[in-house]
Amino acid sequence: MTANLVSLGVQLLVLSAVFSKVESLRGWSYDQVLFIYGFSLLPLGLFNLVSVNLYGFSEQYIIEGDFDRILLRPVNPLAQILCSSFGTGGINELILGGAVMAYAGSRLGLDIGAAGFALLPLLAVSAALVYTGVFLGLTALSFWMEDRLGLAPPVYNVIRFSRYPVTIFSPLVRLLLTFVLPFAWVAFYPAAWYVGGEQWERVALLTPAVGGLTFGIGYLTWTRGVRRYTSTGS
């Protein structure tokens, strides 16, 4: 829990270190980037409440064969897996994210209005669905591969890029983060609407659709994997 807080603090320090050297990143000010960072912690926090169950999945459920027990019960298998334990670190991220957004927002003199405020939970949940969909899909691959591929940690590292405005990256990286590994939608696109102006509205409002689609693809991979489940020897 403290390790989690320390790592969040370090990330904030890095952010202010970068901006002590430069005025802005391609037109994005420190406060704007800070707000985006704060927003990014909301879906991450939501996702981290359940993500612990996905990281150990292959080990515990496939290799050990515990998935048998899950399939014997009349409750959706994914729901059983995701609810089997909760990562309390996610709560830290939610609180800190809210605080950072409030701080950055007040420095920007931001007024997000009632509608903006009401949409915040929807956008955060949609963005969390992007995370869940991506990592669910990766987790489901363990139904096909006996050996752990270890794709999740490198993909998890890509999340860091998603906290910066994607406009600072090359067009290729932008394309990848938008359509292939859609992490641009977990922070920048929805948050840009609040701090970047009207031009981002249409993209931001696509977030629920992207979240739904990503989760849908992840879930489809999962259900196909469940059908392939081979259990263990005895």
What is the binding site for another protein (CB under 8 A)?
65-69, 71-76, 146, 227-231, 233-234
The nearest distance, CB 73 to another protein, in angstroms, is 6
Q: Which is nearer to another protein, 13 or 149 (CB)?
A: 149
Q: Which is nearer to another protein, 17 or 75 (CB)?
A: 75
The nearest distance, CB 226 to another protein, in angstroms, is 9
For tokens 């704007």, the residue is: 32
The whole-angstrom separation of Cα 221 and Cα 10 is 35
The nearest distance, CB 230 to another protein, in angstroms, is 6
Q: Which is nearer to another protein, 199 or 231 (CB)?
A: 231
Q: Which is nearer to another protein, 64 or 201 (CB)?
A: 64
The nearest distance, CB 88 to another protein, in angstroms, is 17
Q: Which is nearer to another protein, 10 or 79 (CB)?
A: 79
The whole-angstrom separation of Cα 97 and Cα 103 is 10
The nearest distance, CB 65 to another protein, in angstroms, is 7
